[in-house]
Structure 1
Amino acid sequence: MSSPWGALRRRVLTPNISATKLSVRGFHYKDETARELLETVGRSFLEGYGFAAESRTPVEAERKLEEMPHKFRGFAYEGAGMGFAVRDALPFGRGGRTLRFLEGKARAHDYMVIVGVGWAMARVPRSRWSRLGLDEDPLLRWLALDGYGFHQAFFHTEKYVRDQYREPAFPWPVDGHREYSPRGIDQGIGRALWFVGGADPKVVVDLIESFDEERHADLYAGSGLAATYAGGLPADELRWYADRVGPYLPNVAQGSAFAATARVDQGLVVEHTGVATRIFCDMTPDEAARLCHDTRPPAVAELPEHPGIPAFEVWRRRITAAFTTDADVTA
């Protein structure tokens, strides 16, 4: 049970549950099954956020997170990543909670936790970003931009989706490769479009193709991650999506493989994971995860043999190349 101070922190820091409702956000309604799934994802995220807000230690939050339903536990860890990062950014705090959180069971959820830290980037002053531990893993840190992009498209849909706004001169990371930051943000926007489109593949395609063509590859990759990790579509509609995206199927497959890797590493694979990876990747979740692990570079910002390209992007290109006949494809 949380302390009175913890309960107060949860009430003050946690957004209202109504913020996750598709009707409140003005998102597309496909059917009740999709609506319930997407809103449960949102509720699970906020539950995890609340655990982080109220818990005295990361271990205390971890115990509560491990009781979350199997299918939605990863989203709760993502929310907890945001919650601890927000607490780290508060004035007069000790900081370091997110990093301590990642030393426990959250290590298996590192993809999701770092994405959650990206949500915090969108909520706290940029002057406090240095307290978020963003640069601890030079490879996976780019996932924080996925979380940032998702947050902006989810909560500022008119600006980031309808008006297709791009951040000018994004101020992170501080050690270089800022020119790649808009692409990381677009990967998160693409993931959010799965929610904005209500998991309706026709609507999602129309949303993505309304953007400039140079953004399509990253947006489609984000949609593949969401379609695989969150789900929401039966096999026949996933096949329609795979056929419809045409030349961007390798990008969708790359996002799908990332999603499968997260679920495999977390021990949270569900039936839908395998349905999606079979259609998008022609692989089982374990095979997709093996591909991601086998092609993963070391935790460095840049590889000597690929100057000027973040190692994270090299990784994405390697995965994408596995799903195309052209080994020189760029993600």
Structure 2
Amino acid sequence: MASIWRTLRRRILTPDDAETTLGRRGFHRKSAQAQERLETVGRTFLRGYAAAMQARTPAEVEADLEKLPDWQRGFAYEGAGMGLAVLDGLPFGRSDHVQRFLRRPLGDSYRYLVYVGIGWAMARLPRFRWPKPHTLDPVLVPLVLDGYGFHQAYFNTARYVGAQYREAAFPWPGGAHGAYADKSIDQGIGRALWFVGGTDPERVADLIEAFPAARRGDLYSGTGLAATYAGGVEEKELRALLARAAEHRGELAQACAFAADARARAGIVPEHTAAATRVFCGTTPEEVARIAGELRPSGPEGDLPAYEVWRRRLATRFVSSGGVNR
């Protein structure tokens, strides 16, 4: 009976793959190759979500996801993060699916992606079922909001991208740095713009430049993370994006570092990530990941949450070293 229930849960709660096609979403189609890359990412995310919906244990989720091609697994773990957080938010059953998963070595190696997946779940759950911020890594809490912003821009594109909607006084996580939520959500929106613009750097930059100037740095940051982690472009296109970013090149480099660090933590660094670190940071993914670890703060500094301290340190390091001034 339990197995039947898990199968039904997977079928009822998992969106159809068609929801992630560029045609259904109305996103730009740059080329057949770029379309296939983005739609593969979407299908892989749903594979991870569905695995979490049906598995009995964290080990079963991992076993399913590890069957995927290596460059795709991060997206599946992101989807699993959403699925596990949805299960935690249901009004019955256990409420520690995410934490149990993160305590496992593989879950921990994809921690950044799982946190982003939690944000996807928040976009689908009532607010009273959102996770308690104190149960999460205080440095990485903004990644949850990044996931929330991505979901909203991906599925509510007309409102969050076309109308540039911004929620007033976002209620989570609250606390001393609660106002930072807007910046984190914008970083997620920027990441989604890589999909909305079909990995076309000029189109993506045009979308960003249509936003108010105060939001563009965070949007370029999100785009840089997506370009580094998901790929879908040649090196000359990365250089075109770098040129368009202009004064926001530091944000591109910072986000590139986060993506390279996430790839390195999982031990899987595809060539498209190496190309991005060459262009945005002027060095290898391994060196970028080392610097990201070196500069990670232990806590907030004054009015800045630790995550923003980290972002600024990375942007400053790569700008001062000349890595983004070419």
Q: TM-score range by the shorter chain?
A: over 0.9
Distance change in 2, residues 1:215/1:121 (3 Å) = same
In structure 2, C-alpha distance between the alignment counterparts of 1:21 and 1:194, rounded to whole Å = 14
> In the alignment, does 2:289 pair up with 1:294?
no
Q: Does 1:171 align with 2:201?
A: no
d(CA) in 1 for partners of 2:224, 2:39: 19
Q: Give the residue type in structure 2 aligned to 1:277.
A: T
3-state SS, counterpart of residue 232 of structure 1? coil
Report the counterpart of residue 234 of structure 1 in structure 2: 234
- Residues 20-68 of structure 1: per-residue CA shift (max 9 Å, x gap): 0001000011000100000000000000000000001111111111111
Residue 317 of structure 2 aligns with an amino acid whose one-letter code is A
Instruction: Tell me: CA distance 1:166–1:7, structure 2 relative to 1, closer, same or farther (3 Å).
Output: same
2:248 match: secondary structure: helix
**Whole-angstrom CA distance in 2 between matches of 1:68 and 1:192:** 23
CA deviation string 1:191-239 (max 9, x = no partner) = 0000000000010000000000000110000000000000000111111
Aligned pairs for 1:251-290 (under 5 A) are 251-290=251-290
Task: Report the counterpart of residue 126 of structure 1 in structure 2.
Answer: 127
Q: Amino acid of the residue matched to residue 157 of structure 2?
A: T
CA distance in 2, matches of 1:99, 1:166: 30
Question: Displacement of 1:94 after TM fit?
Answer: 1.4
Tell me, in whole angstroms, the C-alpha distance in 2 between the residues paired with 1:256 and 1:326: 15
Alpha-carbon offset, residue 142 of structure 1: 0.9
- Counterpart of 2:239, as a letter, is R
Q: Distance in 2 between matches of 1:235 and 1:174?
A: 40
Corresponding letter in the other structure for 1:125? P
Indicate conservation of the 8 Å contact 1:114/1:141, yes or no.
Answer: yes
Question: SS of the counterpart of 1:48?
Answer: helix
Query: CA offsets, 1:4-29, max 9 Å, x none?
Result: 22111100110111110001000011
Question: 1:126 corresponds to which letter in structure 2?
Answer: R
- Report the equivalent of 2:111: 110
The one-letter amino acid paired with 2:211 is F
Query: Does 1:318 find its partner at 2:313?
Result: yes
User: Would the aligned equivalents of 1:134 and 1:141 in 2 still touch at CA under 8 Å?
Assistant: no
In 2, the alpha carbon distance for the partners of 1:80 and 1:324 equals 35
Aligned to 1:308: 303
CA distance in 1, matches of 2:202, 2:214: 20
Letter of the 1:309 partner, please give it.
Answer: L
**Structure 2 CA distance for aligned equivalents of residues 134 and 27 of structure 1:** 37
- Specify the code of the residue in structure 2 equivalent to 1:164: Q
In structure 2, the partner of 1:9 is: 9
TM-fit CA distance, 1:323:
2.0
- The alignment's C-alpha RMSD in Å is 1.4
Per the alignment, in what secondary structure is the counterpart of residue 282 of structure 1? coil
> How many angstroms apart in 2 are the aligned matches of 1:100 and 1:135?
12
User: What is residue 224 of structure 1 aligned with on the other side?
Assistant: 224
How far the C-alpha of 1:175 sits from its partner, in A, is 2.7
Which ranges in structure 1 are unaligned for 5 or more consecutive residues? none
Match of 1:91? 91
Shift of 1:243: 1.8
Q: How far has the Cα of 1:170 moved from its partner? A: 0.4
Unaligned runs of 5+ in 2: none
CA distance in 2, matches of 1:124, 1:294: 36
SS in 2 for 1:245: helix
Distance 2:267 2:37 in 1: 20
Give the conservation status (yes or no) of the 8 Å contact 1:49–1:80: yes
Shift of 1:136: 2.0
Q: Tell me which residue corresponds to 2:37.
A: 37
Q: Deviations over 1:158-214 (max 9, x none)?
A: 000000000101001133311100000000000000000000001000000000000
> 2:19 and 2:131 mapped to 1: Cα distance?
28
The residue that corresponds to 1:25 in the other structure is 25
What amino acid is aligned across from residue 297 of structure 2 in structure 1?
Answer: P
Cα deviation for residue 250 of structure 1 reads: 1.1
Supply the distance in 1 between the matched residues of 2:116 and 2:305 (Cα, whole angstroms). 18
Quick one: distance in 2 between partners of 1:176 and 1:322? 27
Q: Would the aligned equivalents of 1:135 and 1:141 in 2 still touch at CA under 8 Å?
A: no
CA distance in 1, matches of 2:321, 2:100: 42
Report how many aligned residue pairs link the two structures: 320
TM-score by length of 2: 0.96
| Counterparts of 2:135 and 2:95, CA distance in 1 | 15
1:3, distance to aligned residue in structure 2 (A):
2.1
TM-score (normalised: structure 1): 0.94
- Structure 1 residue 326: Cα displacement: 10
Distance 1:273 1:14 in 2: 29
* CA–CA separation in structure 1 for the residues paired with 2:153 and 2:180: 18
